[in-house]
C-alpha cells in the first residue's frame, strides 16, 4: 500500500471527512511531510471507492460548494488494520536489530 493511500485511510479511520479535511488531516498525521493536492487525492479516493475500501457517507452544500464526506467500509478498516500491523511489525524488527546505539544515531 502506498504511503498516501495509507494516510488517507488513516485520516478516515477516526470518522467521515470531506476532501479538504482529508488533505489537512494527512498533513497533520505526517507532520507536514505529505502535502496532498486535489489531483492526487481524488485519484486515490476514486481508486479506493472502486476497490470498496471507502464509500460516500453524505453530501453537504457549504457556501454554494459541494462537500462530499467519505468513510471507511468494513473492508477498508480491515485492510488498514492489516497494513498498520505489517508496518508496526517491520518497524519493531528494525528497531530491535538496531539496538539502543542505532536508535540514538537515528
The residues binding another protein (CB under 8 A) are 18-20, 23, 37-43, 45-47, 50-52, 62, 65-68
Nearer to another protein, 51 or 94 (CB): 51
Least distance (Å) between residue 63 CB and another protein = 9
Nearer to another protein, 12 or 23 (CB): 23
Q: Are 70 and 11 in contact (CB under 8 A)?
A: no
DSSP, collapsed to helix, strand or coil, labels residue 50 as helix
Q: What's the CA angle centered on 11, arms 70 and 14, to 5 degrees? A: 80
Nearer to another protein, 13 or 67 (CB): 67
Give the residue among 26, 38, 22 at the shortest CA–CA distance from 70: 22
Give the bridge partners for 68, in sequence order: 59
Least distance (Å) between residue 65 CB and another protein = 4
Least distance (Å) between residue 37 CB and another protein = 4
Amino acid at each position: 500500500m502506498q504511503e498516501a493511500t495509507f494516510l488517507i485511510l488513516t485520516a478516515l479511520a477516526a470518522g467521515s471527512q470531506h476532501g479538504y479535511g482529508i488533505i489537512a488531516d494527512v498533513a497533520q498525521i505526517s507532520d507536514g511531510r505529505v502535502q496532498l493536492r486535489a489531483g492526487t487525492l481524488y485519484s486515490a479516493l476514486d481508486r479506493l471507492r472502486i476497490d470498496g475500501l471507502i464509500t460516500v457517507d453524505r453530501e453537504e452544500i457549504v457556501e454554494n460548494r459541494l462537500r462530499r464526506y467519505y468513510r471507511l467500509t468494513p473492508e477498508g478498516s480491515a485492510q488498514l488494520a492489516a497494513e498498520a500491523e505489517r508496518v508496526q511489525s517491520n518497524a519493531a524488527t528494525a528497531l530491535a536489530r538496531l539496538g539502543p546505539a542505532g536508535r540514538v544515531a537515528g
